[in-house]
Amino acid sequence: MPENHASDIRIGVFICHCGSNIAGYLDMEALADFAETRPHVVFVQRNLYTCSESGINEIKKGIQEQDLNRVVVASCTPRTHEPLFRSSCAEAGLNPYLFEMVNIRDQCSWVHMQEKTDATEKARELIGMGIAKAALLQPQEIILSEVQTRALVIGGGIAGLTASLSLARRGYEVVVVEKDQALGGMLNHLYKLGPQMQAAKELAAETVQKVNAHPKITVFTRAHVTQVKGFIGKFEVTVETQSGAKKIDIGIIIVATGAQPLVPEGLYGYDGKRTVTQFQLETMLAKGLDAAVRHVVMIQCVGSRNDERPFCAKICCQTAVKNAILIRRQYPETKVSILYRDMQMYGVENEAMFRDSKAAGVRYINYDPADPPQVKADKVGVYHPLLGRKMELAADLVVLSTPLLAREDAHETSQLLRVPVNENGFFLEGHVKLKPLDFATDGIFLCGSARFPANIREAVAQGLGAAARASIPLSKGSVEVEPIISVLADEDACRGCGLCVALCPYGALEVRQTEKGRKVHVINVACKGCGICAATCYQHALSINSFTDRQIEAQIDAFLTVHP
């Protein structure tokens, strides 16, 4: 794409009042006057709301009547409004990447409401920088890439199986990779599921049966993923199966590797016999409790909410309450006490279950982590804050509520897929509210306890959700990629050293042998445009579209020169 001759650049600047959100705090006339003095600016207009229909029409009219070939809007945040303004430019026949947005509301008028003069000065600097960059913008084309309609689900627990079934019912091929002998994951070890007290084995059997019967689903047990290459739509995955390594072409990946319960070695005299975990209690309940057990004491927050593991695993409370109810109903002679720090019983049904447990005679005693319960030979000592004294509870069985932890191999999986884990080792979603089931990397999704401890219903809901998210690229058959990405701007300069390849967090760069020797190649679809490569290349061969060195320098120059 040849650059416009400098004299051909015609910039239009639209300054938005945002009602009084901006105009109430900045000197709008001064801003408009300033914009008019900047190089290449041929048209300046103030709008009450640039995003309103009339504002949008003004932009289009400006492009058509004033022959604008660059558009700058100084208004709110690009997060919400850049797509709108870009598409308005496109509708008027201007390449949408010749549009530049300046934020004079969220980052200026809203935070400097008491300082009109200084805030106006800052807005001038921001607008000056936006105009300087706009003059150097180059048109870009959206990148389209095909998507292979086969999904890989890593983990055959309830979350992974639910996601697999959901995708298979939509007609997509699914490959499930499970490292254990059997599908079902955690469900295989549980007794009954709260709050409906459904039998875990039934749900597991029913789900596994559906998965095995579905013609679109291929299951590999005692298998694991050993290599993942490529990007959304075109992953090349190697799976080590019982019958050898298999290479499979995959379009999207769902991570549903689950979690593992903490084994509380050295805590509260844990021995796996008299003192067990809730996880072990599930198996004991399934077999039937020993008749000699007349007094059960449960201790909450064992090994969590401390310095080593500061998080609350969120589902241990409901598990304890559920198991307490089950014991009280099946063995009415057996007394259950729960020693807790805070009860985490979120949601209406859990809250109801909590009330039911009290009605069923489960006793609750608050304890202070500074003065934790003492597990003795046949008793548990605890300070009762309401009675204001130490008391001793008879205890034939002590049940420790330990958190679910990230799997030991989660880190390996994260490196394999180049997706992040958080400080607790759980997989980190793209955004906690906006993209809870997506990774930041396109085409990879997550669900279930791999993300954070989840109960069965949550795991199922997340499995369905991840499948729905994954269906978007699968059903479109192609993905559109924002072209603000890395480009090999100077092929001759590139020595193919591979420094950038090693640093790229997305695996979006590779060195290829070309006619001119070893050269780096940008995998457009995988690149997110972070710019690490361009900031590192010592040959200055790589650049980032719409964030080139020249554009950044022009912004710096503008910032340093707009001062009166």
Q: How far is the CB of 506 from other proteins (least distance, A)?
A: 7
Residue 165 to residue 180: CA distance in whole angstroms: 19
CA distances 93 to 64, 295, 324, 400, Å, are: 8, 78, 68, 66
Q: How far is the CB of 451 from other proteins (least distance, A)?
A: 15
Q: How far is the CB of 18 from other proteins (least distance, A)?
A: 20
Q: What angle do CA 381, 382, 383 make, to 5 degrees?
A: 140
Paired residues of 530 in beta bridges? none
Name the strand (E) or helix (H) holding 236. Answer: strand 234-241
Closest CA to 216 of 156, 254, 175, 163: 175
Q: CB atoms < 10 A from the CB of 79, how many?
A: 10
- Put the strands of the sheet holding 295-299 in their side by side order: 275-277, 397-400, 295-299, 335-340, 363-366
Preceding peptide of 195 cis, ω within 30°: yes
Nearest residue (CB) to other proteins, 112 versus 328: 112
Q: How far is the CB of 540 from other proteins (least distance, A)?
A: 7
Q: How far is the CB of 552 from other proteins (least distance, A)?
A: 6
Nearest residue (CB) to other proteins, 198 versus 422: 422
Nearest residue (CB) to other proteins, 312 versus 552: 552
**In 242-378, beta strands by DSSP E:** 244-250, 252-255, 259-261, 275-277, 295-299, 335-340, 363-366, 374-375
Nearest residue (CB) to other proteins, 79 versus 329: 79
Nearest residue (CB) to other proteins, 364 versus 559: 559
Q: How far is the CB of 214 from other proteins (least distance, A)?
A: 35
Nearest residue (CB) to other proteins, 284 versus 499: 499
Unique residue bearing structure tokens 């300054």 = 15
Nearest residue (CB) to other proteins, 311 versus 547: 547
Residue 533 to residue 530: CA distance in whole angstroms: 8
Question: Which letter, b or e, does each residue of 45-59 get, where b requires 16 or more Cβ atoms within 10 Å of its Cβ?
Answer: bbbebbbeeebbebb
Nearest residue (CB) to other proteins, 132 versus 301: 132
Q: How far is the CB of 460 from other proteins (least distance, A)?
A: 28
Q: How far is the CB of 340 from other proteins (least distance, A)?
A: 30
Interface residues toward other proteins, by CB under 8 A? 418, 420, 422-423, 428, 430, 440, 484, 490, 492-493, 499-500, 502-503, 505-506, 528-532, 534-540, 544, 547, 549, 552-553, 556-557, 560
